[in-house]
Amino acid sequence: MDSYVGHSIPLLARASRHNPYANCTVSTCPLSTSYYYYRVSLAANATFLALFSVSLIGYLATFAFTRRATAFHVAMLCGVLLEIIGYAGRIQSWQNQWLENGFLIQIVCLTIAPAFMAGAIYLCLRRIVYAFGPENSRIKPESYTRIFIPCDLLSLLLQAAGGGLASVASHSNRSPATGDHIMVAGLAFQVFTLLVFMCLCVDFALRTLKRYKSMGQDAFDQNPVYVHMREGKKFKLFVGALTLATICIFWRSVYRVAELGEGWSGNLIRHQWLFVGFEGVMVIVACFSLNIFNPAFTFQEAMTGLGGLGSKKRMAKQQNGEPTVVTPPEKNVSGSNSDVDRLKTDV
């Protein structure tokens, strides 16, 4: 704690009313007196700003065209939009590294943005479990969202609250340590949640493989729509993209816990190449992988009701021995799935 306060003294001096660095420029003051301990790269941050803008347009266009995976797209759009705001803050810092606003914008927005992306990933697993068969999972498909979405929201709230407290403290010339500790706690909880999530994914994959070796295709859901989808290349690419995105978000979150755990003046935060590689690259790879293999295209049969609305009713009929008929989603005149078509798909 003493070392944290000691590191915070330069930050408080820069934020004070009588800031001796108020008129600093990169040619007149050492970089160590700025909010950053390196020259912020305009090229790197402008590149990430452009890439996340392209990703945002991609998600917007995909949802506008397909009208599928609403919750997934809302979560991804929120995350990508925060990334854009965060990198805009870093570009503002490039213009003047001694101004507080750009620093606070980037540290808050870029810290909480991947929490939304993690939520989008959690939403997909339940539907993947339905596609292979709920009996292959250790827990019910609905439990994945009931467990991980609240955990993700808690992580997001902690990170947002911590970032807000740190920002207010910095503006008030007080140590941001308390807010930073809360933000790190939210990040650490996100890492723990992602780790449990990945363990359950591996467990589901192993259980599915074991049942397949002993039962063959009977180990899977024999719904004709699911059978056709599992055999397709698009679905396999989607599962691979989702796996890659999960690993990238997890790796990035581990790095940010270590970085912010040292405070805003720690050793890791002083190296721009670590931030670029473990924050920027990891997150943009996760976003683009799900842009290219968006579930609205690659997992579309399961994003129009199957495994979602009406799934409990369908399973209840199966348990009671009643026949169920599931047909591929139909299109109405306007080209979009109607509510009647979706219910027909479920039942």
pLDDT value at position 177?
A: 85
pLDDT per residue as tens digits for the range 12-41: 555 555 567 778 888 888 988 888 989 999
pLDDT value at position 19?
A: 64
Mean pLDDT lowest among 32-46, 119-133, 154-168, 294-308: 294-308
Backbone angles phi, psi at 246, to 5 degrees: -65, -45
Question: What mean pLDDT is predicted for residues 140-163?
Answer: 93
**pTM for this predicted structure:** 0.82
pLDDT per residue as tens digits for the range 96-110: 998 889 999 999 999
Structural fold of domain 2-303: Rhopdopsin 7-helix transmembrane proteins (1.20.1070)
Residue 345: count of CB within 10 angstroms of its CB: 23
Q: What percent of the chain has pLDDT over 70?
A: 81
Question: What mean pLDDT is predicted for residues 212-228?
Answer: 85
135-144 long-range contacts (CB < 8 A, ≥24 apart) are 135/211, 136/204, 136/207, 136/208, 136/211, 136/219, 136/220, 137/204, 137/207, 138/200, 138/203, 138/204, 138/207, 139/200, 141/307, 141/311, 142/311, 142/312, 144/200
CA distance 66 to 63: 5
Q: What percent of the chain has pLDDT over 90?
A: 53
Residue 232: count of CB within 10 angstroms of its CB: 13
Question: What mean pLDDT is predicted for residues 63-87?
Answer: 95
CA distance 292 to 287: 9
Q: Where are the domains of the chain?
A: 2-303, 304-347
Q: What is the mean pLDDT of the chain?
A: 83
For 132, residues 6+ apart whose C-beta sits below 8 A from its C-beta are 204, 208, 220, 221, 226, 230
pLDDT value at position 311?
A: 44
pLDDT per residue as tens digits for the range 110-138: 999 999 999 999 999 888 998 888 898 99
